[in-house]
Chain A
Amino acid sequence: MQSTTANNNIDYKLVFYTAPKLFLLLKPNSPEYTILDANDAYLNATLTKRFEIMNKSLFDVFPDNPSDLKANGVSNLRRSLNKVIEKKTPDSMPTQKYDIQVNTESGIIFEERYWDVSNTPVLNEKNEILYIVHTAEDVTSTFKLENKLKTISNEIEEKSYLLKENEERINAILNALLKYTTMDFSDKLKITDKGDELDAIVVGLNSLIEELENQIQLLKLSNDELEYANNELDSFSYSISHDLRAPLRAINGYSQVLMEDYGHQLDEAGKNTINVIVKNAIKMAALIDDLLTFSRIGKQGLTKIALNMNNMVKTIVNELKNQAHANTLEFIINPLEEAQGDNSMLKQVITNLLSNAIKYSSKKEKSIIEIGSFKKNTMLIFYVKDNGAGFDMKYYNKLFGVFQRLHSDYEFEGTGVGLALVQRIIKKHQGEVWAEAEAEKGATFYFSLPIKN
């Protein structure tokens, strides 16, 4: 080592002074630790001048910040230095807060600084400590950054806790909302003392609920009115059924009396006139009956059950077969799907469609009537097909109207209520009715019912 130093003429003092790292050379004289020298980088970093610090005790030059009650720079540094002397090995300190003095216009103040410090003994051949090399790195900005990161991550943790808490509150609101959709308002939402957006939502919701409850109350009132009107209608149709029928009976009965008591005085034209009166009175009675059924179906509630349509159709076909017919009847009854619906109402539908099929095919030599069913998407579709008079599709829009007829009474008798009734019943079942026909080539009537209610 001696030889290398001797031979190359290197200016070690200059190297030491201009080295980019921070160096301070100390005398190993505990407890003073006199400063022997420092390089330029060190002086710059600590805002000191060489002449100010040379030959002074380290701790006189760099005291603790008196306003920082937790300051431990002096004691930690001293401990490290003592350790170096004792063990004769280098010692590194964990990042240490050690504020430095700054001269300002308003006097000396301390500036916050963080340092990574290591102390290294310089030993001679006899293993005696000549100096202690104190190096330091100003890590203030890194440390502050780390601290900031730590603060941020703490804040994130705190925020995520708040978020979780808010999530629970939102869930409570959603659950309450879900309950409200079933008109159950027993869960009133509570307002926290936070006064945040969620509280604002809760306040809004609560006033909405209140408004809703008011509206429901109003609805109930108008519902009562409706019920009253319905009852009125009920007694109205009751009166119709009783009061309109009585005069018809009189017209009919006394026409008959006229015929029996005075028939012998009348010629054929006179007798025919009486028959027309009787026939029309009976027709009007049928109209009243159909109309009453029609209005009753509108008010009636549905009792949906699983219906064996095969049995229902067989029963109805047998009843219809037993009535008098102008021609021969042939029924083609395909196996039918089970339907969900109101028994008596669907019976009425099947009866009306089959009676129509019989009626409108009565002028053919032989009536061929087919009934069947099939599934399409979510609907179950039934059809009744005949080979009868059919109708022109350009009058289709009148087919299902009340008192609307596509044939004259002279051709086929009827009140014009049957298909309107069919449509009303099927609509009540959330189904549809439609038809396909061609004049003189028969008609097919379809109705659909939802497969599951």
Chain B
Amino acid sequence: MQNTIHNIEIVLVEDSLEDANLVIRSLKKHNISNSIIHLKDGAEALDFIFAEGEYTSRKIEDKPKLILLDLKMPKVDGLEVLRAIKTDPRTKTIPIVIMTSSREDRDLLESYELGVNSYVVKPVSFENFAQAVAELGMYWLMVNQSPR
């Protein structure tokens, strides 16, 4: 599913391969088979979204339907990615959901100040985690209408 970088619908930015696989597994399990790309850190995420680096062949206008963004990542962290996307008029309408282990109030507050669309604390329990991922996928891909 990651063989094409065009027509990507879900961008998963997550430094933990294990967590990323669980997210993808949960989405698939709930029949959300839209094309997903997994990016391993914030720098890669920015390159992808803004069609730079190894993603210059992309077009910024080909916006994904949803970005699932981890907060704590090497190089460029989630809050910086969030700020970059939400302050650029070309990308600010992309729905971004923070998925993080952090229950810290300051992260929550800053994310909302930067214009995050949703903030989810990853539960430790797998069932809850799968449930949360599935609900997010359903809502943002099937229920929500984003401006094109």
Contact = CB atoms under 8 A, between A and B. Distances in A.
Interface string B110-148: 000000000000111111011000000000000000000
A203 interface: no
A250 B14 CA distance: 13
Interface string A279-298: 00110010001001000000
A252 B102 contact: no
Main secondary structure of the interface of A (DSSP, over half): helix
B101 A256 contact: no
Interface of A: 238, 241-243, 245-246, 248-250, 252-257, 278, 281-282, 285, 289, 292
B18 A252 contact: no
Nearest to A284: B124
A152 B122 CA distance: 93
Contacts of B88: none
A246 B100 CA distance: 9
B100 A249 contact: no
Interface string B24-54: 0100000000000000000000000000000
Contacts of B123: 249
B99 to A, nearest CB: 11
Contacts of B71: 242
A254 B129 CA distance: 12
A246 B23 CA distance: 13
Given A241-B103, A281-B124, 11 more contacts: A238-B102, A242-B71, A243-B101, A245-B101, A245-B124, A249-B126, A250-B18, A252-B126, A253-B19, A254-B18, A255-B126
B127 to A, nearest CB: 7
A278 B125 CA distance: 8
Interface of B: 16, 18-19, 22, 25, 71-72, 100-104, 122-127, 129-130
Contact of B100 (A242, A253, A256, A292): A242
Contact of B25 (A252, A257, A278, A285): A257
Interface centre among B16, B19, B125, B127 (most CB of A within 10 A): B125
Nearest to A281: B124
A253 B22 CA distance: 7
Contacts of B72: 242-243
9 contacts: A238-B102, A238-B104, A242-B71, A242-B102, A246-B19, A252-B125, A253-B126, A255-B126, A256-B130
A67 to B, nearest CB: 98
A249 B25 contact: no
Interface centre among B18, B72, B126, B129 (most CB of A within 10 A): B126
Contacts of B102: 238, 241-242
A252 B124 contact: yes
A248 B124 contact: yes
A253 B16 contact: no
Given A246-B19, A249-B19, A250-B18, A282 B104 contact: no
Contacts of B16: 246, 250
Contacts of B18: 249-250, 253-254
Nearest to B72: A242
